[in-house]
Structure 1
Amino acid sequence: MILNPIKFILQAVDTLKKLQQSPYHIFIRAKGMEVVGILTKIEHRYDPGWGIMRSWAKGIKLNGDTFEEPLDRKNKRTGELEDLIQMRNDLVIITARNSPDPDDDNDDNFQYLMNPYQVNEIKDSLDRVKEKDRIIHDLQKRLKEAIEKANRYQAEAESATSELNTLRERVRNLSERLAEQTQRAEDYKRQLKELQIGMIREESKLDEQLKTSEKLGRLEGKDSADIIIDATKKQIEARRELDKLGLGGLTAYATKEDLERLKDEII
């Protein structure tokens, strides 16, 4: 338990300053940022397999034990010697090797970090991917809305087409009925025309008959009037004679029977 935190922190800061000014470094693994210990020395050793000099880290662990491991890797796939130091400054060195095991063929024994430039490029690439994903999502949303709208329009179009077909059927029926009514009207018109022609002919005949009747009537009417006038005069004279004879009981206008009876009496 730390009795005086401030004093402890000040001592730690002072130690870090001294470590920063020394040739030593805090040795850290990239995987989990695990602190291995203090790197005290970097040695160069000859590798007879590749015929090259390799860098080795040597130091003291936090528990006081010593450690040593290569600071590079023989990459058989590329045929190159890779530097495993991912970051280095006056205070720390970060290695990509996950354990002191010098086996370079086990890929699980390595965890790499990107340098700041690569990280920025990757971050920019990831941002672009996210931006494209967002654009794609928006386009998919718009496409979905457009499809739904198209489906609505299609349904409305189908409904309108059905109504149009119904209207067309009604128009066709009305056209047929109109054609029938038109034909019937033409028949009525023809019959009416024939009737009018017949009436005109009958009127012509009647006019001829009336003209003939008027002529006959005028002739017959004139003769009858003369006869009536003559008969009336004779009746008046006969009445006067009857009055003289004391036979005034006859009717004002003698009938044929009266005249016959008068004739018998005179005879």
Structure 2
Amino acid sequence: MKKKIIIAFFIILIVLIGIIISKFNEFKNEPYQKTPFFDLFVAKSFYKKDLERPWEEFWDNSWNNVSKENERPIEWISNPKDFEKLDSIYLGFKNTTKEKFYYVTWGEPNSRIRISFNVFKNGKIDSIPFGGFGCGTGIYIAPLKNGEIAGGKFLNPLLFNPFTNHYLPLKNRKFPELFKEIYGDSVAIKFEQATYSLPWNKFPSQMIESKEIIISTEKIIENWKKGDYKLSPEFDKENEQAFYIKYKEDYELSSIYEKEGKTK
């Protein structure tokens, strides 16, 4: 009798293992699957879909805000001095949580980093919030183990008009004037990244954010006058969209464009 029970137990166990392996293989072979990891398979298996929101992914809580005590400990890596030059910068974040988590990406580190600004002008502070990516197609979550760094080089965000996302006209002789109209006397930059936690992690899924990096616009203009900026055809061209500035609660075309037209 005891022998039959043991045999039955192992048969059931083998069947269950077979079912799990089969389901895991289905998960790995899903269309556009880029993270075929067993821990994500387990997390997805226990996720209950909202019938009213069937399009949601099991990791859609990655954009959540959390209380102070639940904030994920992260070491952001950058050199504030790099932001004083209108060229490429390095930005990364190191996992110091002692547990693996995932971050939302388009395939490269920093590809889904949110950027927001606080502009200091004439003793006042004005915020320029993150304006959106415009598209969420193709995003997925990539793993980051304890001690690992996700990072890379990308263009200094100050190379762009934050209201239209167009390249700033670096060759225009009135560039300093336009730059100060947009970014004031100094500007603070903050980065945010959506991250996903496995159900058994200590820290919940959340949007992590860096400390503000404050840069003097005078220092940037000083380096610009020395020719210390990105030499690329995109920044030689002038486009009306690059000359939009914030006016009260709206945006308008800067008088610099109206006066200068396309004169350099």
TM-score (norm: length of structure 2): 0.21
Give 1 or 2: higher helix fraction. Answer: 1
Give 1 or 2: higher strand fraction. Answer: 2
TM-score (norm: length of structure 1): 0.21
Report the structure number with the largest CA radius of gyration.
1
